Amino acid sequence: MGFKNDSVYRTRRILCLVIFVLLLSIIVVCISIACRGTCANHGDSHGPVSATPSAVSTFTPQPETPTATQAAETPAPSDGIPLVVTEGDMNAVMARLEQLKTLPSDKTIILLDVGHGGFDPGSIGLDTGVHEDELNLQVARFVAQKLGEKGYYVFMTRMGSYAVAETKNEDMRLRKEFMKLDIFDAAISIHMNSYPDDRSVDGTRLFYYKEGTKGQTLATIILDEICKATGQRNRGTNSGDLMVVREPVAPSALVECGFISNANEERLLANSNYQEKLAQAVVPGAPAYSRPISSRISATLSPIAGVGARDRSTIPNLTPRRLEASCATS
């Protein structure tokens, strides 16, 4: 009887063990199925994994030219008028002119003539097709910023990618009227050079009015500084009877920054770092064309004893319509 009871006890133990193993196996199988389902769902949501690595971009970003917003204004001094404004349409250009006319004569105002624009692209790069008018604007914005950092007020003849007027003749005449206003202490015209017949020609050249000694001084200083800063060939200064250097009342210079017909210079002139170097090199010319503040104040107080100090409040109001009428009679 005891043996029989022991046999039954062992049988029950074995049966319980078998049941436990079966239950454990079922649990393991269920967990395995659940895991596979989860993995499958992830595969559906993200898509199949590529067997090959993704392509690696070979693009190398170029230094960015400041956007119009970034280069728009420098902080205004105590008079509330920004030293520099570099974006806006021609209405903004005219509004800027009216602003600057309210400044006292002990403030230095530099005119930056931004060559070409709109329907007149100027020269075109032979390799990249870059337009001179766009390069002129980019460099002029840098120049304006650098001058503003030194405390100079800046007026730009255009502040965007557009023409100053509807035709070439009107464009030139409008620029002429700007330059003839006796509110500026210096005038600098920004351009690019080109000589497609010989693409090896390179370097920087400046022009000044043939009868202006101060203009020659201004041109010489700027040219020397540009060549020192960039390492480019010095092609010298040249006197001439060009409108943009003849018409300004103040000392003036036309800067031919480089040849976009030359492959190397075309590439450099489109690079924002190089443009900034060019712009920085213009700034040391400021003392050459800016009369000492003391002499301007003295001339204002005693007009007979001094020359050149301007009472800007007497400058007539010029609107685009008035300028157009003035050009038509010139």
Question: How would DSSP label each residue in 100-160?
Answer: HHTS-TTS-EEEEEE--BTTB--SB-TTT--BHHHHHHHHHHHHHHHHHHTT-EEEES-BS
Both tokens of residue 25?
Answer: 């196996």
pLDDT of 201 over the 90 cut: yes
| pLDDT score at 19 | 79
Whether 204 contacts 227, CB under 8 Å: yes
- State how far the Cα of 189 lies from the Cα of 167, in Å rounded to an integer: 19
Give the closest residue to 301 by CA, choosing from 81, 293, 101.
Answer: 293
59-68, 112-121, 139-148: the lowest-pLDDT one: 59-68
Give the closest residue to 252 by CA, choosing from 224, 214, 286.
Answer: 214
Domain boundaries defined on the chain? 90-329
Percent of the chain with pLDDT over 90: 54
pTM of the full predicted structure?
A: 0.69
Phi-psi region of 250 (alpha: psi -120 to 50; beta: other; left: phi over 0): beta
What is the torsional sign of CA 179, 185, 190, 193?
positive
**Helices 132-149 and 272-282 sit at what angle, rounded to 10 degrees?**
50
Give the closest residue to 152 by CA, choosing from 215, 106, 101.
Answer: 106
Does domain 90-329 match CATH 3.40.630.40?
yes
- State how far the Cα of 173 lies from the Cα of 330, in Å rounded to an integer: 8
For range 204-230, the mean pLDDT: 91
Whether 253 contacts 288, CB under 8 Å: no
Amino acid letter at 10?
R
pLDDT of 22 over the 60 cut: yes
Rounded alpha-carbon distances, angstroms, from residue 43 to 47, 55, 278: 5, 22, 56
Give the closest residue to 95 by CA, choosing from 15, 19, 151, 156.
Answer: 156
Range ranked top by mean pLDDT from 46-55, 144-153, 295-304: 144-153
Rg, Å, the chain Cα set: 36
pLDDT of 137 over the 80 cut: yes
Amino acid letter at 299?
A
At 327, the pLDDT band (50, 70, 90 cuts) reads very low
pLDDT tens digits, one per residue of 26-47 = 776 666 555 454 443 433 333 3
